[in-house]
Chains A and B, each alone.
Chain A
Amino acid sequence: MTHRKPNAWVVAGFAVVAGAVIGGGQAALEAALRPWRIGDFGPASLAATSSDAPVAEVPETRHEFGTIGTGAEGTHEFEIRNAGPKPLVLTRGATSCSCTVSDFESADGGDEGARKEVPPGGSTRVRLKWRGKGAGGPFRQQATVFTNDPRRPEVAFVIEGTVVPTWKAVPESIALPTIATGAGTHAEAKLFTFGTARPEVLELALADAQAAQFFELASTPLAAAELESEPGATGGFTISLRVLPGLPLGPVRQTIKARLKIPEDVAAELPVEGTVSGALALAGGAWDSSRQALLLGTVSGRTGSRTEVFLTAKGPHATAVKPTVREVLPGTLVVEVGAAKPVGDRGMVRIPISITIPPGSPPANHRCSDQGPAGRIVLDTGHPETPVFSIPVCVVIGP
C-alpha cells in the first residue's frame, strides 16, 4: 500500500472551505466548552447527513464504578441503539490502556470480536473489562467504538473510579534531603491499610541491619480523622523515623519493612532515601554541585558583573555561622557577606554572599583548567567543626 501526500493546495483549499462552514455553525453547536473529540461530535458532524443513515444512540457513555482492588477485575456494559433506517456498523477501536478491553456482545451473550452490525431499531452492548492497576488512587480509562453514523463516527466509553490497594504509604518514600553531619533528623509517613479489619503491626524493622543503629522506628495508629484523607482506608499507622547523629557523609538508602495483619499477613515496604552532607553548603544559579565550583563564566573586565549565592548552614551550630572573607583569588573580586536569616523551623539559616567583578577589572584566567587554575573564595565561618569554607571559582575576566 502506498500513501500519496495530499496536495498542499488541495489541503489549504479544503481548510478554507471547512473554516467557512465551521465559522457559521460551530459556535452554536458548542455552547461553552469544546471537549476532546472522541465521544462527542466528530469531524463529520457538520457534514450534510441524509435521513436514511444509521443513527447511533448511546444512553450512557460514562460509568463510575466506585472502588476496585489492585489487580481485581471490573466489568460494565454500555448500550448502543440504532435509531436509523440503515444497519449501524460498529468497529472496536483502541482502549486507552491495555488494562482495559472492550468487546461487543454476541447473540448468546459472549464476546463477538471487533465488528458488529446492528439492524435498524436494534441495539447491542459494549462490554468493558478493566483491571485495577498501580498503587491505588483515581482510575480513568476509555474505549473507543467507531460507527458508520455520519453524525457520530466515534463514541468513547469512559469508566472512572478509585483503585484501592492492600496498603499504601503516603508519601511513597521518606526523603531526608538535609541531614547535616553530626546532626540527626526525623520524618514521618502514613501507612494506610484497606483490609476488612483494623490493622496490627506484627513487625517493624530496617532492611539494612548494619546501619540500623542510626535509626529509631515507631508506629502509632492513625486517628479516624486522619483516615478520612485516604478514600477507602480502613486503618493505618503513622511510621515515625528518627535519624540519630553519626551517619557517614554521602547517600542514605534504607528500607522500612513492616509486617501487618489486616487480617491476612501483608508485607509493606517504605524506602528511605537521603543525603548526609556537610553543615555548610552553597546554593545558587552559579554553583555547580557536580563540579563543586562557582562558575562565573567569561566576564568583560570593562563592564564587570555581579552574582549572588547563598551559604546555607544546618545542624546544631547553624546559628553560630558568621562568615568573614579571609582570602579571594583573583583579588579583584569583591565579596560581600549579608546577614543570616532563618529558613523554616528546623534550624537552617541562609547567608547571602554577593560576588562582584567591578568595572575596570584587569584580565584574569581562572577557567579551572591546566592553563588557568581555579580561583577561590575562602571564608572563616565561625562554625566550630568547619571553621574554614573554601569555594573554588571558575572565571575568566577579559578585556
Chain B
Amino acid sequence: MNIVHTPTRRCPPAVLAATFALLAHGVAGAARPDRGADVTPATVETFTQRNGGVFAEWPNPRVLIVLTGELDGYIEPCGCTGKENQKGGLSRRQNFLRAVAGAGWPVVAVDLGDQVRRFGRQSEVKFQSIADGLRAMGYAGVGLGPNDLRLPAEELVAAVAPVGDQPTPFISANVGLLGLDANITPRFRVVESGGLRIGITAVLGAKQAAEITNDAVEVRPAAEALQGVAADLQKAGCSHQILLAWADPEESKALAASFPQFDIVATAGGADEPPATLPVLPGGKARLVELGHKGMFAVAIGLFADPQTPIRSQRVPLDARWGESSDMIRLLAAYQRQLESLGLSGLGLVPVRHPTGRRFAGSAACADCHQEAYDVWASSSHAKALTTLEEQTPRRDGDPECLSCHVVGWAPQRYEPFEGGFASAAATPHLAHQGCENCHGPAAAHAAVERGDVRASTTERDRLRQELVLSLDTPEGKQKAVNNCLECHDLDNSPKFDFDEYWPQVEHSETKTAAAAQ
C-alpha cells in the first residue's frame, strides 16, 4: 500500500510563539534551536558544558530528519540523583521538536521502534501511551522493534491503528500484525517536507525475527520484503530515502549495500550512546545511524541545498535544556492514572513467594529492639521514599516500576511484589518507604518470636536472628550488602552510587550501638 502523506500539523502555541519571535526580529531563519521555550540561559549553559552544544554554525536546512528509537520503556528518565541529571523522556523530545519547528526548520521525525522493553499489562498500557505521544509529536514513520512485537496482538493492533483521519505512523516492510495481508500497518510512507519528497520504510532483522514467539505476528525476510518496497519508493520519486532497520549493525549494513537507494539507514544493536559522527557506508552515500539506548539522544540529520555540504548531522542529548512539554506531562499523568485505576491485580502483578519463604513485619517492628538503627533509618531519605513518589507531578505511587524501589517487599528488578509485601498506602502503611527488610530480609517471624507472640526454641530464635544479619566485616558479607543496594542503586537510576561513599549516610550496626552504650 502506497500512502503519499503530506503532514498537515496543527501549529502548537509554542511554535506559533517562536515563529512570531523570529518574524519580530526580522531575521527569519537565523534562530538556532538549542533550547526549549522558557529554559533559562544558565540551564542551557550548564547542559551545553556537560553534554555538548547543538547545531553550532548550522545554516538553515531544507529539512531536518530527526531519528529516535530504542526507548526501552523510558517514557521519562528516572533516578535517585534527580531527573535533571538524566537524559531522555518524551517530554524533552517534544520540546526539542518544537524548538526545531520554531526555528522555521521543516522537520520529519522517524523512530526505529522498541518503545517498551518488558512484557505485561503495564508495558501494554505504556506502549499505547507512547504511540499516542508519537502521534501528538507528528511522527512520520515508526518501526516495530522485537520487544514491541512481544505484546499481545489485540493490544498492538489497537495502539497502532489509525486515529480518525490521521493515518498510523507505524510502518513495516516485513512485519505484519495479524499477517502481512491484513495490512494493519503500511509497508512504507512518503512524506513531503521543505520541498523534498522523503520515503521511509522499516524492517525487522533476521535474528530478531527468529526470536518472535507471537503467533499473531508474521515476518518475511527483510531483503525479500524490501525488493518490492524499494521499487515502490523509486516510483514515488523520492529525493531521499530512509530505512529503519531494527537489526544488528552487520545486517543493517548488508541491507544498505543491497539497497543503495537508502541515504539514511538507522540500525539497532549499538552502544548506549550514539557515536559522535555518522559512518558513511561503502558506496559513499548511506549514513549508518545508531540511536543509543533508552531514548537519551535524538540524531538529527540536516539536508541542505549546498552541493558541497548536502548533509550535516547532530547528536542531540535530550537533557534539561529542552525543558518539559505540558502536552507530554498530561500524557504521562493519564498514563499514571490508568496504572492507578488498574491497580496491581489489573496489571497482572500477582505477589510471588519471597526466596526465603518469609513474610514482612514493617520497619516500625524493628524499632522495638533496634531503636538506634531505626532512628538512623528514620532520618534518612530511605524513610521518605514513598513520599517522593506521592509528591511528584503527576504522582508515581501507582506505578510498579517506581514502587518497586520505594516500598518494602518488592523485587526491585522484576517490579513485582512478594507475598505479604507492600500493596498500597491504605492497606499496608507499615510497608511504606525503603525499609529495613529490603536489605536484611523479611522479619515477621523474627519479630513475632522476639515479642513473644510465637513460642520458639532458643536455637530457632537464634536462627531467625542470624538470618537477618548483614555483616560488613568480611568481603563476602560486604559484597552481599553491596549487591542488595545495587538492586535499586543501579547504573540507570543511581549512576553515582558508590557503597563506601553512601554507606556513612545510613551507617548503623549493633556493634556500634553496643560500643556507644558502654
Asked if A128 lies at the interface with its beta carbon under 8 angstroms from chain B, I say: no
CB-based contact B213/A175 at 8 Å = yes
Residues of chain B with a CB closer than 8 A to A347's CB: 215
- In the complex, what's the smallest C-beta–C-beta distance from A343 to chain B, in angstroms? 4
Q: Which of A40, A94, A97, A283 contacts B154 (CB 8 A)?
A: A283
CB-based contact A43/B277 at 8 Å = no
CB-based contact A312/B146 at 8 Å = no
Q: With the chains together, A43 CA to B53 CA distance in Å? A: 9
Q: Which of A12, A208, A287, A342 contacts B25 (CB 8 A)?
A: A12
Asked if A371 lies at the interface with its beta carbon under 8 angstroms from chain B, I say: no
Q: Which of B30, B214, B348 contacts A250 (CB 8 A)?
A: B348
Q: With the chains together, A286 CA to B278 CA distance in Å? A: 41
CB-based contact B491/A99 at 8 Å = yes
Nearest to B284 among chain A residues (CB) is A32
Q: With the chains together, A126 CA to B104 CA distance in Å? A: 41
Nearest to B125 among chain A residues (CB) is A290
Residues of chain B with a CB closer than 8 A to A229's CB: 207
CB-based contact B161/A274 at 8 Å = no
CB-based contact A310/B157 at 8 Å = yes
CB-based contact B54/A37 at 8 Å = yes
- In the complex, what's the smallest C-beta–C-beta distance from A190 to chain B, in angstroms? 9
CB-based contact A42/B56 at 8 Å = yes
CB-based contact B287/A284 at 8 Å = no
Chain B interface: which of A81-89, A109-117, A140-148, A357-365? A140-148
CB-based contact B338/A33 at 8 Å = no
Residues of chain A with a CB closer than 8 A to B414's CB: 271
CB-based contact B158/A158 at 8 Å = no
CB-based contact B158/A94 at 8 Å = no
CB-based contact B309/A34 at 8 Å = yes
Residues of chain B with a CB closer than 8 A to A33's CB: 277-278, 280, 287, 311-313
Asked if B59 lies at the interface with its beta carbon under 8 angstroms from chain A, I say: yes
Asked if B517 lies at the interface with its beta carbon under 8 angstroms from chain A, I say: no
- In the complex, what's the smallest C-beta–C-beta distance from B275 to chain A, in angstroms? 6
Q: With the chains together, A196 CA to B40 CA distance in Å? A: 54
Given A15-B27, A36-B315, A289 and B272 touching (CB < 8 A)?
A: no
Total interface residues on B, using CB and 8 Å?
84
Asked if A273 lies at the interface with its beta carbon under 8 angstroms from chain B, I say: yes
Chain A interface: which of B176-184, B328-336, B401-409? B176-184
Nearest to B161 among chain A residues (CB) is A285
CB-based contact A137/B213 at 8 Å = no
CB-based contact B216/A312 at 8 Å = yes
CB-based contact A174/B213 at 8 Å = yes
Given A12-B26, A28-B308, A94-B50, A177 and B275 touching (CB < 8 A)?
A: no
Say what secondary structure dominates the interface of chain A. mixed
Say what secondary structure dominates the interface of chain B. loop
Nearest to A343 among chain B residues (CB) is B179
CB-based contact A287/B178 at 8 Å = no
Given A33-B312, A177-B150, A251 and B120 touching (CB < 8 A)?
A: yes
CB-based contact A38/B215 at 8 Å = no
Q: Which of A6, A94, A251 contacts B350 (CB 8 A)?
A: A251
Asked if A192 lies at the interface with its beta carbon under 8 angstroms from chain B, I say: no
CB-based contact A144/B152 at 8 Å = no
Asked if B3 lies at the interface with its beta carbon under 8 angstroms from chain A, I say: no
Q: With the chains together, A18 CA to B272 CA distance in Å? A: 34
- In the complex, what's the smallest C-beta–C-beta distance from A351 to chain B, in angstroms? 10
Residues of chain B with a CB closer than 8 A to A96's CB: 51, 273
CB-based contact A178/B216 at 8 Å = yes
**Max chain B Cβ within 10 angstroms of own Cβ: one of A31, A175, A273, A342:** A175
Residues of chain A with a CB closer than 8 A to B59's CB: 19, 22-23, 26
**Which residues between 212 and 227 of chain B lie within 8 Å of chain A, taking CB atoms?**
213-218
- In the complex, what's the smallest C-beta–C-beta distance from A48 to chain B, in angstroms? 15
Nearest to B416 among chain A residues (CB) is A253
Q: Which of B158, B306, B495 contacts A289 (CB 8 A)?
A: B158
CB-based contact B216/A5 at 8 Å = no
Asked if B508 lies at the interface with its beta carbon under 8 angstroms from chain A, I say: no
Residues of chain B with a CB closer than 8 A to A312's CB: 153-154, 178, 216
Q: With the chains together, A16 CA to B349 CA distance in Å? A: 58
Residues of chain A with a CB closer than 8 A to B311's CB: 32-34
**Max chain B Cβ within 10 angstroms of own Cβ: one of A177, A178, A207, A286:** A177
Nearest to B51 among chain A residues (CB) is A94
Asked if B31 lies at the interface with its beta carbon under 8 angstroms from chain A, I say: yes
CB-based contact B154/A35 at 8 Å = no
Nearest to B248 among chain A residues (CB) is A229
Q: With the chains together, A44 CA to B25 CA distance in Å? A: 24
Q: With the chains together, A43 CA to B182 CA distance in Å? A: 51
Nearest to B497 among chain A residues (CB) is A98
Given A35-B277, A287-B158, A341 and B179 touching (CB < 8 A)?
A: yes
CB-based contact A282/B154 at 8 Å = yes
CB-based contact A187/B56 at 8 Å = no
Q: With the chains together, A251 CA to B207 CA distance in Å? A: 27
- In the complex, what's the smallest C-beta–C-beta distance from A65 to chain B, in angstroms? 12
Asked if A46 lies at the interface with its beta carbon under 8 angstroms from chain B, I say: yes
Residues of chain B with a CB closer than 8 A to A134's CB: 272, 491
B29-44: CB near A (< 8 Å → 1, else 0) gives 0111000000011100
Q: Which of B30, B119, B150, B338 contacts A19 (CB 8 A)?
A: B30
**Which residues between 290 and 336 of chain A lie within 8 Å of chain B, taking CB atoms?**
290, 310, 312, 314
Q: Which of A137, A281, A346 contacts B271 (CB 8 A)?
A: A137
Given A16-B27, A140-B272, A208-B353, A176 and B314 touching (CB < 8 A)?
A: no
12 contacts between A and B (CB under 8 A): A11-B25, A22-B59, A26-B57, A27-B309, A33-B313, A36-B277, A38-B276, A45-B57, A171-B146, A281-B153, A289-B155, A310-B182
> Can you name 19 extra interface pairs (CB under 8 A) apart from A34-B58, A35-B313, A174-B213?
A3-B41, A12-B27, A27-B306, A27-B308, A40-B276, A96-B51, A138-B270, A176-B213, A253-B348, A275-B348, A281-B152, A282-B154, A283-B156, A285-B162, A287-B157, A288-B158, A289-B154, A289-B155, A348-B216
